[in-house]
Structure 1
Amino acid sequence: MSTNPFNRPIRVLVAKVGLDGHDRGARIIATSLRDAGMEVIYTGLRQTPEMVVNTALQEDVDAIGISILSGAHMTVFPKILALIKEKGMDDVLVTGGGIIPANDMAELKAQGVGELFPPGTSTVDIVKYITDWVHEHRNF
């Protein structure tokens, strides 16, 4: 169980954006986050960036985790960043993982995306990253 000094669990939205129909990794991450004491909203497959951000706003999440294997990461992440800024959600972490080349990871981080996790990353590391980021950046 994650130690959380706040009066509620950390809330994370896990989403699959676009036509990518493979969600095994996203479901494993969602389960790991739940097991760590976080509240997880899993959107399921074939979400648009607008759907993801609207759900994140309605659910008052601390973090959005995008699982992407389709190669659309250089479109999807910047669109999500633009939408959360437009909606005044600047204190929400945008993170994710999947098949993303190292050069693209660096570019996305420079644009404001948080840590990006390649396949095989320990779920313990992902839980720690989200927990630490939320404790440092979110005000409850």
Structure 2
Amino acid sequence: MSEETQRNVRCLVAKVGLDGHDRGAHVITRAFRDAGFEVIYSGLHKAPEEIVQAAVQEDVDVLGISILSGAHNTLVPKIIEGLEEYDAFDDTLVIVGGIIPDEDRPELEDAGVDAIFGPGTPMAETIEFIENNVPQRD
């Protein structure tokens, strides 16, 4: 996007399920803000339905799901299904961060996850992915 046409990218960084480790979510939230994104942080222990409601109500461009609990194959598809029910999926870039085994990645991508970022991913890589792939809205 050129600077003249650039608008603020709205992001929701969400912690789903019983995962209580939020250090990475706080780090990514700060990096997104430093990159000029508007960022909302969900807080801990959110149900998939709560995350969907927040994403829809806040009209976010990007939903970043941080999950380390191992329940990604159950919880992430529920969030995507909820976005689809509200016709918000096509307008939302869905990314996942956390420890996702390689064998689980294809299932999440098939469910609609646009990208998965594991531990140690450079912040610049994640930010560049968002800038290059955020859905364009009128």
- Smaller-chain TM-score bracket: over 0.9
- C-alpha distance in 2 between matches for 1:107 and 1:114: 12
Q: Does 1:60 align with 2:59?
A: yes
Q: Runs ≥4 in structure 1, deviation > 6 angstroms? A: none
Aligned 1:82-97 pairs, distance under 5 A? 82-89=81-88, 90-97=90-97
Name the SS for the 1:66 alignment partner. Answer: strand
* Equivalent position of 2:40 in the other structure: 41
Aligned length in residues: 137
Sequence identity of aligned pairs in percent? 51
* Equivalent position of 2:14 in the other structure: 15
Q: 1:8 to 1:16 in 2, by over 3 A?
A: same
- C-alpha distance in 2 between matches for 1:51 and 1:3: 34
Q: What is the TM-score of this pair, normalised by structure 2?
A: 0.93
- C-alpha distance in 1 between matches for 2:97 and 2:78: 16
Deviates more, 1:105-114 or 1:68-77: 105-114
- Structure 1 residue ranges without an equivalent (≥5): none
Q: 1:29 to 1:4 in 2, by over 3 A?
A: farther
Alignment deviations for residues 74-133 of structure 1 (CA, whole Å, 9 cap, x no partner): 011110110000000022111111011011112211221111001000010000111111
- C-alpha distance in 2 between matches for 1:62 and 1:14: 11
The letter for the 1-side match of 2:94 is V
- C-alpha distance in 2 between matches for 1:4 and 1:16: 31
The letter for the 1-side match of 2:105 is M
Name the SS for the 2:17 alignment partner. Answer: coil
- C-alpha distance in 2 between matches for 1:39 and 1:30: 9
Name the SS for the 1:20 alignment partner. Answer: coil
* Equivalent position of 2:137 in the other structure: 139
The letter for the 2-side match of 1:138 is Q
Name the SS for the 2:64 alignment partner. Answer: strand
Q: Compute the displacement of 1:138 (Å).
A: 2.2
CA RMSD, aligned part only?
1.5
Q: What is the TM-score of this pair, normalised by structure 1?
A: 0.92
* Equivalent position of 2:23 in the other structure: 24
Q: Compute the displacement of 1:46 (Å).
A: 0.4
* Equivalent position of 2:78 in the other structure: 79
- C-alpha distance in 2 between matches for 1:6 and 1:36: 16
Name the SS for the 2:82 alignment partner. Answer: helix
- C-alpha distance in 2 between matches for 1:130 and 1:5: 18
Name the SS for the 1:40 alignment partner. Answer: strand
